[in-house]
Amino acid sequence: MQIRGDHAELAVGGRLDVRSAADARTVLHSAVDSGDGDLVLDLAGLDSWDATGLGVIMGAHRRAGRCGRRLVLRDVPPQMQRLLVATRLHRILAIEGGLTASEAQILTKP
């Protein structure tokens, strides 16, 4: 897993999983704490995430909210969009461009 960027925008690549969660959490929390306004996570280069990785994203989302910021996901890969829809987290997390109700229905169909 690689994370590049600053307190306003981070690009996440590779795998966000149990092995990379601690490092990712440290970088995300530092970015949230050191900036203001939206923190954009560009996920175009993210290959996969597991439940632990999703937990890191949710933790950063909560921390951003406590700091008066908003975590925004950009370029969420389709397979990860399906997971967000299946867990209904697409209703909680800010996704750049968002997902319409019809897109959410399409993503949940087998």
Domain boundaries, the chain: 2-108
According to the CATH classification, is domain 2-108 in 3.30.750.24?
yes
pLDDT in tens, 33-54: 998 899 999 999 999 999 999 9
List the helix and strand counts (H, then E) for the chain.
4, 5
pLDDT tens-digit map of 12-32: 999 999 999 999 999 999 999
pTM: 0.83
- Mean pLDDT (the chain) is 87
Q: Long-range contacts made by residues 85-90, C-beta under 8 angstroms, separation at least 24?
A: 87/54, 89/54, 89/58
Calpha distance 40→70 (Å, rounded): 8
Cβ within 8 Å of residue 94, ≥6 positions away: 38, 70, 71, 72, 73
Yes or no: say if 93 and 61 are a contact pair by the CB < 8 Å rule.
Answer: yes
Mapped onto helix, strand or coil, the DSSP state of residue 87 is coil
